[in-house]
Structure 1
Amino acid sequence: MERMHWHRTTVQGRPASFGLVAAAGPAQGTLVFLHGWALSDRTYRRSLEPLARKGFTVLAPSLPGFGGSAELPADDRTLAAYGRWVRDFLDDRGIGEPVTLVGHSFGGAVAIKTAHDHPGLVSRLVLVNAIGGATWSQDGTLRMSDRPLGDWGVHLGAELVSVRGLTRLLPVVAHDALVHAVLRPGVLWRVGALARQADLGPELEELKRRRLPIAVLWGREDKVVPWACAESLIKALGDPDVRTVPGHHGWIISDPDRFAELLTNVLDLSEKPLAS
């Protein structure tokens, strides 16, 4: 079994950390994974390690402000700045070919912005219960910016204390979330506010025009980023590859085998379909 190892580097003159799993088997290129709010590269280890057996070299950076990566400068804390950081991280690692970019939750919004702002950097985009859609209410009348920050926390807390969350999700995310809450509460607040404003409809429309291959993976019971957000993404993208699975917002963490199998199918690396 290939294992993720953690490394330190410097991006834009500031410290950064990342996880790396070297490819095994026929080479499929580089897959870059961008994590969700309050988490880091380490949270998703069990979900990402199986992808190396499919031939991917997997890079999982801790985004600025999380894990061991320094926060962005105070005058440049935008999704565009996160996208530039991802570009510069890949330059630092010497990645010369387009990558498969996968983003979960807030990492999905960063992935969208990265793909939009840096054409040629991304060959395929996979959005997993991602932020970036225009609306969050079931009837489509409330925009993401209208959603109170407290509402996010209520639903995330409910997911963590559910039976599944207590047994599978909470033990995995508790360390990262607690460390960030205690040591970097300002980062959590600032990134949460940024996520709340992440209406990326124009960027999604442009990616559709460019015909970038995009897949949308979604846990059907997500209340943190509800299905209305997925519908906004899908509408803006036109006709992406959409796959739904049983699960909440953190299904990618609590069910790593399902995620690895589903992503394998989405990327056409296996002929075996996954029942949803």
Structure 2
Amino acid sequence: MPSRKKLAAVTLVTAVLGVGVGVAYDPYLLVRAQFERQRLNAGLDHGDVVVAGHRWVYAVADDAPRGAATIVMLHGFTGSKENWYPLADRLRGRYRMLVPDLPGWGESERKADADYGFVAQSERVADFIRAMSPGKPVVLLGHSMGGGIAALVAARHPGLVAKVGLLNAAGVRFNENQFGLDVLAGKNPFGVDDAASLQRYIDIVFHREAAKPWIPWPASRGLIARRKDDAAFEQAVLERIGRGPEQFLPGQDAANIRQPALLLWGRQDAVIDPSALALYAAQMPQARAVLVDDAGHMALMEQPREVADAVVALIERQ
């Protein structure tokens, strides 16, 4: 009969071989493993729910004091719930947090030929809030594309949103930059199909070198493959939110937002030029405007402490 030490060694070797075979078959497993580590470090649990005809996967923190505000966080174009984890880590224990992958993105369900533009997604988010925070308005935060969606939800469903924060939000005609010109020309400036374009994508969305994620091989191979598979979907979404009739709808509807609001931008945003902040502010005079230094489009990841302070001020001020 084999000894316990031999059995343990065989089990360990089998597990390592299993991981190795899995990674060789799907190197994106390494990306998922990193996301899982980040979720656990931020003190978030994992959940899923079927709402608005889609299965949503979300991260959740339910360890807040009784009666604490509920925050719903919406990620941007090509983003995912994981973009919010550095901020969630700084808000843990203080508020209830719901951080979903929007339908079509991340781990949430995507349906062929479905509409994932601003309007359709805003209605799905409204249904998600009704399901996850029944009878209690939420603090709704949106980044980039998620900011445009959040603006529509706050404007069109005011009973669901107590306060709203738009971070580097899409949905207005900002000053011309290369990113905007490329979108209008039919390109996807965020497109990734090799190592060089992956690095270009990271360099566009992040300003601070120290905040740029390091993605070693073979995780990079898995991420590149995933983004290549998503290329047609990304272009279809851009047709809706970047070049179609909905592209400036969030900024127009922002005039109907009456709730207390936060407008926050990275001063070095090379995606949605900071001039967008003033355009939103003109529609939302009640909003507090915050321009974060040494931060680009991913201010929520580059300067999470400063962003957390701004979010707390939004929630706590009367």
TM-score bracket relative to the smaller structure: 0.7 to 0.9
Distance 1:257 1:179, change over 3 A: farther
The answer as to whether partners of 1:39 and 1:177 remain within 8 angstroms in 2 is no
Report the alpha carbon displacement of residue 219 of structure 1 after superposing the two structures with TM.
0.8
Deviations 1:54-83 (A, max 9, x none): 2x1000110011111112562533312101
The answer as to whether partners of 2:138 and 2:163 remain within 8 angstroms in 1 is yes
The answer as to whether partners of 2:270 and 2:296 remain within 8 angstroms in 1 is yes
Partner of 2:203: 158
In 2, the alpha carbon distance for the partners of 1:177 and 1:237 equals 38
The answer as to whether partners of 1:137 and 1:228 remain within 8 angstroms in 2 is no
1:85 aligned onto 2:124: yes
- In the alignment, which of 263, 267, 270 is matched to residue 315 of structure 2? 267
Task: State which drifts further: 188-197 or 213-222.
Answer: 188-197
In 2, the alpha carbon distance for the partners of 1:147 and 1:228 equals 21
Identity %: 23
In 2, the alpha carbon distance for the partners of 1:161 and 1:19 equals 23
Instruction: Write 1 or 2 for the structure with the bigger share of helix.
Output: 2
Report the alpha carbon displacement of residue 262 of structure 1 after superposing the two structures with TM.
2.4
In 2, the alpha carbon distance for the partners of 1:182 and 1:29 equals 39
Partner of 2:278: 231
In 2, the alpha carbon distance for the partners of 1:25 and 1:113 equals 29
* TM-score, normalised with respect to structure 1: 0.81
Partner of 1:273: none
1:190 aligned onto 2:240: no
1:206 aligned onto 2:256: yes
Partner of 1:50: 90
In 1, the alpha carbon distance for the partners of 2:242 and 2:147 equals 13
Q: Name the amino acid aligned to 1:219.
A: G
Report the alpha carbon displacement of residue 51 of structure 1 after superposing the two structures with TM.
1.6
In 1, the alpha carbon distance for the partners of 2:68 and 2:44 equals 17
In 2, the alpha carbon distance for the partners of 1:161 and 1:103 equals 17
Task: State which drifts further: 225-234 or 7-16.
Answer: 7-16
* TM-score, normalised with respect to structure 2: 0.71
Gaps of 5+ in 1: 271-276
Distance 1:144 1:213, change over 3 A: farther
Report the alpha carbon displacement of residue 223 of structure 1 after superposing the two structures with TM.
1.1
1:252 aligned onto 2:300: yes
Task: State which drifts further: 238-247 or 101-110.
Answer: 238-247
The answer as to whether partners of 2:205 and 2:271 remain within 8 angstroms in 1 is no
Distance 1:65 1:235, change over 3 A: same
